[in-house]
Copies of this chain bind each other. A is one copy, B any other.
Amino acid sequence: MTKEVMNVPRAKKTEVVSQGHLCMPEDSRKRASRRLAIARGHLESIIRMLDDPHIYCVDVLRQLKAVQGALSGAGEVVLRGHLEAHVATAHERGDTTEIIEELMEALKYT
């Protein structure tokens, strides 16, 4: 799944490439992780809600929507980091077609 990169300019290597792969920028990684931890907590509280036989459907729908919003927010962080670190430099690396094909595929059915 990871993207092989052979001849990447030195300067960018520390940031986004390691062991011949494009890697997620650390800042995106940390921010996405924090958001997902919050989403997990929220998801756990919905699972506990569902143990209560008096729970009302629409309240569950509302909470699910909130978690989906949190996941979309995390996805936005990851996408932005990918565009900045890897897509914006694709023409220089010479892998524009592949990297965009891969991204369009991953974004499908969002």
**A20-56 to B contact mask, C-beta < 8 Å, 1/0:** 0111101011001100110110011011001101111
Known: A40-B43, A47-B36, A71-B68. A59 touches B1 (CB 8 A): yes
How many copies of this chain does the complex contain? 4
Interface size class of A (residues with CB under 8 A): 35 or more
- B78→A104 contact, CB < 8 A: no
Residues of chain B within 8 A of A47, CB atoms compared: 33, 36-37, 40
Using a CB–CB distance below 8 Å, which chain A residues touch chain B?
Answer: 1-3, 18-19, 21-24, 26, 28-29, 32-33, 36-37, 39-40, 43-44, 46-47, 50-51, 53-62, 64-65, 67-69, 71-72, 74-76, 78-92, 96-97, 99-100, 102-104, 106-107, 109-110
